[in-house]
Each structure stands twice: as C-alpha cells, then as structure tokens.
Homo-oligomer: A and B are copies of this chain.
Amino acid sequence: MSFAAPAAFAMCGASWHEWPMSASKPVSGIGAVAARQDIHNSDLPVLCQSCEARHKGICGTLSPDQLLRLSKHTSKHVLEPEQPLPSPDSDRFANILKGIVKLTKLTRDGRQQIVGLQFAPDFLGRPYGRQPDVTAEAVTEVKVCSFPRRFVEKLIEETPELEHMLYQQALRELDEARDWMLTLGRKTAPEKVAAFFYLLAVRFNPEESGDTGRATFEIPMKRADIADFLGLTIETVSRQITKLRQAKVIVLLENRMVEVPDLARLRALTEQSD
C-alpha cells in the first residue's frame, strides 16, 4: 500500500514554502516523555491523537496548550522519493512521521554527498541561523508535519524541555556524522559498502543486533544514493555488492531485499584489521 500525494501537491516545485497550505491537515505528535505521561488523549488536538509519532519526537515535550497552538500552524504532507523538503535553513521546519530523508551537499560541478540520513521521528530544521548549502530530499515515501520556522523558534525559547530534546538530537547527529567521517576518509570501497549494509541491518533489525544473528531488510534507496552516501561511484558500489553476494555475506532476494545470514561476518568486513 502507499500514501498517494495529494493532488495539489503535484504542483509543488522545489521550494517548500510554496506548498499549498490549503491542502494540508493540521496534525502533531504527542510524546510518551516521562513528564507528560499523565496527559490524556482527549486533552489533545484531534489530529495529534492519531499521530504516528505520538510516543516520541519533539511534540512529546509540549503541553496540550502548546500543542494546540502549534497544530493551528501545522500541515501534514506526503512526499514521493526525490521530492525536496525544506532545506534546513528554510522558513519551515518539519517533523518526520514516516520514511527516510537525506541531507545532501553539492559542489559547483555537481558532485553530491549525502551528509545525513534522518528517520522518523527526527526533527528537520536548523534553528538559529542558517546551515549553508544543505538540501533535504525524500529518499523513500515520506510523511511529515511541517511548521512555520518562526513559530517553532518561539516555542523553543519558551520550552527548555524542547530545546533539550533538540540538543539531544543534534548530539546524536553529530555522533553519526563523525562515525561517517571515519568511513569517508579512511575506509576502502569494500569496507564502505559493508559498513553501509551493516548500518541498515542494525537500524532495521535492532532486536537481533546481538551480532550472532541474521537480518533481513530492504535497501531503502537506489544505487546512486548509496554512492552519494559513501563517496563512491555507482559502478564501484555495484561491483562491491556483487562481491559481497559472491562471498555469500549477503543474499539479494530482489534488487532491494537483502538477507544477511551472519551479521558478525558482515561487521568484520566493515573494518579490515590485518
């Protein structure tokens, strides 16, 4: 099944703030954050009640009153793969409810690097000043809530808990970015591709990441995205995948479905130690 984009959405060009707000449904997530667990569904804006991100995400730090005010400025959208989201310094912020979003950077001659992958319930936006030259695009089908930048910034100022949660997310992203810098700067193509699959395996099979087990998952992006993530060419990625398959480290069920029979073996390839 799939969530079809609203018709009006098809008119959406490259810029987020041109989104037809009339087509949007206000919505928000409520959180199961400790301090707020005593809030009942009935206290909340109608559209937050059924929000997929209710148990996590920034909305969990907000009071019912704040949620209500926010929901008045909120719109919910579905994006198809490749559709642009507000760049992190645009005039709208957003919350990912479902799907994967890539943050990319470009050189003048068109070389591209993915500098971040974000999943639900991540917050998308760069409070306080601009983040130069970063573009956000849907990788998979993506559902988001979006809000006016100004409104969220005001909310942050009056809600230390919200800023706290955003700080946590920033720290997490920073950890991930630095992990990836080691991969980009110092690892070989085989290691990079193995690291990518290992990343996916752990992300999508968190329970069995005891390293003793197997994992099955769908590669959520096309080869070009993988290449842009790893700092390689499509061809090199393809060749390395072929080698992993020949070595029986992975089994490709379809083009996108992968089975890893032995996670420990895959992880070993992540970082050659000889």
Contacts and interface: CB of A to CB of B under 8 A. Distances in A.
A166 B185 CA distance: 27
A169 to B, nearest CB: 9
Given A109-B272, A113-B185, A167-B166, A178 B103 contact: yes
A221 interface: no
B171 A113 contact: no
A111 B163 CA distance: 36
Interface stretch (A28-36, A62-70, A126-134): A126-134
A274 B108 CA distance: 9
Interface string A110-127: 011101100000000011
Contact of A177 (B163, B166, B174, B273): B174
Contacts of A103: 178
B273 A108 contact: yes
A187 B184 CA distance: 11
Interface in A237-274: 271-274
Interface residues of A, number: 45
A178 B113 CA distance: 9
**The 6 nearest A-B residue pairs measured at CB:** A185-B231, A115-B178, A160-B160, A108-B273, A184-B184, A177-B177
Interface in A144-203: 160, 163-164, 166-168, 170-171, 173-175, 177-182, 184-187
A268 to B, nearest CB: 10
A230 interface: yes
A73 interface: no
A182 B107 contact: yes
Contacts of A132: 175, 179
A171 B128 contact: yes
Contact of A111 (B113, B126, B186): B186
A98 interface: no
Contacts of A231: 184-186
A105 interface: yes
A182 B160 CA distance: 33
Given A160-B163, A167-B170, A171-B128, A181 B115 contact: yes
Nearest to A177: B177
B108 A181 contact: no
Interface in A83-123: 103, 105-109, 111-113, 115-116
B274 A186 contact: no
